[in-house]
Chains A and B, each alone.
Chain A
Amino acid sequence: MSAPLLEVRGLRVEFPTRRGTLVAVDDVSFELAPGEILGMVGESGAGKSMTGMAIIGLLEPPGRVARGEIRLEGRRIDGLPDAEMRKLRGRRIGAVFQDPLTSLNPLYTVGRQLEETILAHLPADRAEARRRSLALLAEVGIPAPESRLDHYPHQFSGGMRQRVVIALALAAEPRLVIADEPTTALDVSLQAQIISLLRRLARERGAAVLLITHDMGVIAETADRVAVMYAGRLAEIGPVREVLKSPRHPYTVGLMGSIPRLQAGGKHHAPLVQIEGAMPRLTAIPPGCAFHPRCPRRFARCDAERPEPMAAGGALAACWLYDGPRR
Chain B
Amino acid sequence: MTDRAASSRPLVRVADVGRDFDVSRPWLNRVLEGAPRLRLRAVDGVSFEIAQGETLALVGESGCGKSTVARLLVGLYPLSRGRVEFDGVDLALAPPAEAARHRRRMQMIFQDPYASLNPRWRVRDIVAEPLRVLGLAATRGEERERVAALLAQVGLAPEDAEKYPHEFSGGQRQRVSIARALSGNPEFLLCDEPTSALDVSVQAQILNLMMTLQARLRLTYLFISHNLAVVAHVADRVGVMYLGRLVELASAAALFAAPRHPYTRMLLDAIPDLEMSGRPRTPVAGEVPNPLAPPAGCAFHPRCPHADARCRAERPALRAAPGGSVACHAVEEGRL
Contact = CB atoms under 8 A, between A and B. Distances in A.
A220 B274 contact: yes
Given A159-B287, A264-B233, A217 B273 contact: yes
A193 B283 contact: yes
Contacts of A272: 204, 207-208, 233
Given A187-B288, A188-B267, A258 B201 contact: yes
B45 to A, nearest CB: 23
A25 to B, nearest CB: 18
Contacts, number: 141
Interface of B is mostly: helix
B177 interface: no
List 8 A-B pairs, minimum CB-CB distance, nearest first. Answer: A217-B272, A266-B252, A258-B204, A43-B199, A272-B204, A187-B61, A260-B229, A192-B270
A302 interface: no
B233 A260 contact: yes
A275 B205 CA distance: 8
A262 B228 contact: yes
A269 interface: yes
Contact-residue bracket for chain B = 35 or more
In this complex, which of B199, B226, B268, B276 has the most chain A Cβ atoms within 10 angstroms of its Cβ?
B199
A262 B264 CA distance: 13
A160 B208 CA distance: 37
B211 A271 contact: yes
Interface of A: 43-44, 157-160, 187-193, 195-196, 214-218, 220-221, 240-241, 244-245, 254-255, 257-267, 269, 271-275, 278-279
B153 interface: no
Interface of A is mostly: helix
Contacts of B232: 260-266, 269
Interface of B: 55, 61-62, 169-172, 199-205, 207-208, 211, 226-230, 232-236, 251-253, 256-257, 266-276, 281, 283-284, 287-288
Given A267-B236, A272-B233, A214 B252 contact: no
Contact of A218 (B251, B268, B272): B272
A278 B171 contact: yes
B287 A157 contact: yes
Contacts of B272: 191-192, 195, 215, 217-218, 220-221
